[in-house]
Amino acid sequence: MKFCNVCSHPVSLLIPEGDNRERYVCTNCHSVHYINPKVVTGCLVHSSNKVLLCKRAISPREGLWTLPAGFMELGETSEEGASRETYEEACARVKILGLYTLFDLPHISQIYLFYRSELENDAFAPGPESLEVRLFEEQDIPWSDLAFPVVERTLQHYFEDRKKGYYNFRTETIIPNKI
Protein backbone atom coordinates (compact mmCIF):
# COMPACT_ATOMS: atom_id res chain seq x y z
CA MET A 1 0.00 0.00 0.00
CA LYS A 2 1.43 3.38 -0.99
CA PHE A 3 -1.42 5.85 -0.58
CA CYS A 4 -4.21 6.47 1.91
CA ASN A 5 -7.63 5.40 0.69
CA VAL A 6 -9.18 8.21 2.77
CA CYS A 7 -7.18 11.28 1.62
CA SER A 8 -4.77 9.92 -1.05
CA HIS A 9 -1.60 11.05 0.75
CA PRO A 10 1.38 8.69 1.16
CA VAL A 11 1.30 6.09 3.94
CA SER A 12 4.14 4.82 6.09
CA LEU A 13 4.64 1.58 7.98
CA LEU A 14 4.45 2.57 11.65
CA ILE A 15 3.36 1.04 14.93
CA PRO A 16 0.30 3.08 15.92
CA GLU A 17 -0.05 4.13 19.55
CA GLY A 18 -1.60 1.31 21.55
CA ASP A 19 -0.78 -1.30 18.89
CA ASN A 20 2.00 -3.87 18.76
CA ARG A 21 2.68 -4.29 15.05
CA GLU A 22 3.38 -2.22 11.99
CA ARG A 23 0.37 -0.90 10.08
CA TYR A 24 0.04 1.43 7.14
CA VAL A 25 -0.62 4.87 8.63
CA CYS A 26 -1.41 8.00 6.66
CA THR A 27 1.10 10.77 7.32
CA ASN A 28 -1.60 13.38 6.60
CA CYS A 29 -4.94 12.31 8.13
CA HIS A 30 -3.45 9.66 10.45
CA SER A 31 -5.87 6.95 9.32
CA VAL A 32 -4.65 3.46 10.20
CA HIS A 33 -5.15 0.94 7.39
CA TYR A 34 -5.60 -2.64 8.57
CA ILE A 35 -4.95 -5.35 6.01
CA ASN A 36 -6.72 -8.46 7.21
CA PRO A 37 -7.07 -12.04 5.93
CA LYS A 38 -9.56 -12.90 3.19
CA VAL A 39 -12.35 -15.36 3.95
CA VAL A 40 -13.16 -18.07 1.42
CA THR A 41 -16.39 -19.99 1.92
CA GLY A 42 -17.91 -22.93 0.09
CA CYS A 43 -19.82 -26.18 0.26
CA LEU A 44 -19.05 -29.85 0.45
CA VAL A 45 -22.16 -30.91 -1.45
CA HIS A 46 -23.25 -34.53 -1.21
CA SER A 47 -26.05 -36.47 -2.80
CA SER A 48 -26.53 -40.15 -1.94
CA ASN A 49 -22.99 -41.55 -1.81
CA LYS A 50 -21.50 -38.91 -4.10
CA VAL A 51 -19.89 -35.48 -3.72
CA LEU A 52 -20.10 -32.56 -6.13
CA LEU A 53 -16.85 -31.25 -7.63
CA CYS A 54 -16.22 -28.46 -10.12
CA LYS A 55 -13.40 -28.37 -12.68
CA ARG A 56 -11.96 -24.85 -12.54
CA ALA A 57 -12.22 -22.64 -15.64
CA ILE A 58 -10.18 -19.84 -14.04
CA SER A 59 -6.80 -19.25 -12.43
CA PRO A 60 -5.39 -20.25 -10.11
CA ARG A 61 -5.30 -24.00 -10.77
CA GLU A 62 -7.38 -23.89 -13.94
CA GLY A 63 -8.41 -27.36 -15.12
CA LEU A 64 -8.21 -28.94 -11.66
CA TRP A 65 -11.10 -30.11 -9.48
CA THR A 66 -12.40 -28.26 -6.43
CA LEU A 67 -15.33 -27.87 -4.12
CA PRO A 68 -17.49 -24.87 -5.06
CA ALA A 69 -16.12 -21.94 -3.04
CA GLY A 70 -14.96 -18.35 -3.28
CA PHE A 71 -14.41 -15.09 -1.44
CA MET A 72 -17.14 -13.77 0.81
CA GLU A 73 -18.79 -10.53 -0.22
CA LEU A 74 -19.47 -7.60 2.08
CA GLY A 75 -22.85 -7.77 3.76
CA GLU A 76 -23.31 -11.55 3.59
CA THR A 77 -22.90 -14.30 6.16
CA SER A 78 -20.41 -17.08 5.55
CA GLU A 79 -23.33 -19.48 5.01
CA GLU A 80 -24.91 -17.13 2.45
CA GLY A 81 -21.55 -16.83 0.69
CA ALA A 82 -21.15 -20.62 0.58
CA SER A 83 -24.62 -21.03 -0.96
CA ARG A 84 -24.03 -18.19 -3.43
CA GLU A 85 -20.65 -19.58 -4.54
CA THR A 86 -22.15 -23.05 -4.99
CA TYR A 87 -24.87 -21.59 -7.20
CA GLU A 88 -22.40 -19.44 -9.18
CA GLU A 89 -19.94 -22.28 -9.81
CA ALA A 90 -22.26 -25.29 -10.05
CA CYS A 91 -25.75 -23.82 -10.69
CA ALA A 92 -26.82 -25.91 -7.69
CA ARG A 93 -29.22 -25.04 -4.90
CA VAL A 94 -28.22 -26.56 -1.57
CA LYS A 95 -29.51 -27.14 1.92
CA ILE A 96 -26.77 -26.22 4.41
CA LEU A 97 -26.36 -28.86 7.14
CA GLY A 98 -23.67 -27.10 9.16
CA LEU A 99 -20.14 -25.77 9.24
CA TYR A 100 -17.79 -28.68 8.59
CA THR A 101 -14.17 -27.51 8.15
CA LEU A 102 -12.20 -24.37 8.93
CA PHE A 103 -8.66 -23.93 7.62
CA ASP A 104 -6.17 -21.20 8.48
CA LEU A 105 -3.63 -20.50 5.71
CA PRO A 106 -1.44 -17.81 7.29
CA HIS A 107 1.15 -17.96 4.49
CA ILE A 108 -1.43 -16.51 2.06
CA SER A 109 -3.58 -14.66 4.66
CA GLN A 110 -6.73 -16.69 3.96
CA ILE A 111 -9.31 -18.51 6.04
CA TYR A 112 -11.42 -21.25 4.42
CA LEU A 113 -14.86 -22.34 5.68
CA PHE A 114 -16.64 -25.33 4.14
CA TYR A 115 -20.24 -26.18 4.94
CA ARG A 116 -21.56 -29.72 4.61
CA SER A 117 -24.65 -29.52 2.44
CA GLU A 118 -27.10 -31.50 0.33
CA LEU A 119 -28.44 -30.87 -3.15
CA GLU A 120 -32.00 -29.53 -3.00
CA ASN A 121 -32.73 -31.23 -6.33
CA ASP A 122 -30.82 -33.00 -9.10
CA ALA A 123 -30.16 -29.79 -11.08
CA PHE A 124 -26.54 -28.66 -11.47
CA ALA A 125 -24.40 -27.46 -14.35
CA PRO A 126 -21.13 -25.59 -14.94
CA GLY A 127 -21.27 -21.91 -14.06
CA PRO A 128 -18.97 -19.32 -15.70
CA GLU A 129 -16.01 -20.29 -13.45
CA SER A 130 -16.35 -24.05 -14.08
CA LEU A 131 -15.49 -26.20 -17.09
CA GLU A 132 -17.37 -29.20 -15.76
CA VAL A 133 -19.40 -30.19 -12.70
CA ARG A 134 -19.86 -33.81 -11.63
CA LEU A 135 -20.94 -36.02 -8.78
CA PHE A 136 -18.18 -38.45 -7.73
CA GLU A 137 -18.27 -41.59 -5.65
CA GLU A 138 -15.32 -41.88 -3.25
CA GLN A 139 -13.37 -44.33 -5.41
CA ASP A 140 -13.69 -42.02 -8.45
CA ILE A 141 -12.43 -38.78 -6.83
CA PRO A 142 -9.57 -37.39 -9.00
CA TRP A 143 -7.25 -37.13 -5.98
CA SER A 144 -4.16 -36.23 -8.02
CA ASP A 145 -6.08 -33.49 -9.84
CA LEU A 146 -7.51 -31.60 -6.86
CA ALA A 147 -6.82 -27.87 -6.95
CA PHE A 148 -6.10 -27.10 -3.30
CA PRO A 149 -4.97 -28.86 -0.09
CA VAL A 150 -8.08 -27.60 1.75
CA VAL A 151 -10.26 -29.47 -0.75
CA GLU A 152 -8.28 -32.68 -0.32
CA ARG A 153 -8.37 -32.43 3.49
CA THR A 154 -12.12 -31.68 3.54
CA LEU A 155 -12.85 -34.69 1.32
CA GLN A 156 -10.61 -36.95 3.42
CA HIS A 157 -12.42 -35.87 6.59
CA TYR A 158 -15.81 -36.37 4.95
CA PHE A 159 -15.14 -39.93 3.80
CA GLU A 160 -13.64 -40.85 7.20
CA ASP A 161 -16.64 -39.36 9.01
CA ARG A 162 -19.14 -40.97 6.64
CA LYS A 163 -17.75 -44.40 7.54
CA LYS A 164 -18.20 -43.58 11.25
CA GLY A 165 -21.72 -42.26 10.71
CA TYR A 166 -21.18 -38.83 12.26
CA TYR A 167 -19.55 -35.58 11.10
CA ASN A 168 -17.22 -33.71 13.41
CA PHE A 169 -16.40 -30.05 12.89
CA ARG A 170 -12.69 -29.86 11.96
CA THR A 171 -10.19 -27.04 12.13
CA GLU A 172 -6.60 -27.08 10.85
CA THR A 173 -3.74 -24.80 10.00
CA ILE A 174 -2.15 -25.58 6.67
CA ILE A 175 1.51 -24.71 6.28
CA PRO A 176 3.11 -25.54 2.89
CA ASN A 177 5.11 -28.78 2.93
CA LYS A 178 3.71 -29.68 6.35
CA ILE A 179 0.63 -31.71 5.35
CATH, residue 29 = 2.20.70.10
Task: State the DSSP string of 51-76.
Answer: EEEEEE-SSSSTTSEE-SEEEPPTT-
Dist. CA 42–CA 95, nearest whole Å: 12
Confidence of residue 126 (pLDDT cuts 50, 70, 90): very high
pTM over 0.85: yes
Q: Do 72 and 143 have their domain in common?
A: yes
Q: What is the DSSP letter of 178?
A: -
Which residues span the domain enclosing 6? 1-35
Q: Do 115 and 146 have their domain in common?
A: yes
Q: What is the pLDDT of residues 11-45, one digit of tens each?
A: 999 999 999 999 999 999 999 999 999 999 999 99
Q: Do 24 and 47 have their domain in common?
A: no
Q: Do 59 and 92 have their domain in common?
A: yes
Q: Do 29 and 43 have their domain in common?
A: no
Q: Do 1 and 77 have their domain in common?
A: no
Q: What is the CA radius of gyration of the chain?
A: 19
Q: Do 106 and 67 have their domain in common?
A: yes
Q: Do 62 and 133 have their domain in common?
A: yes
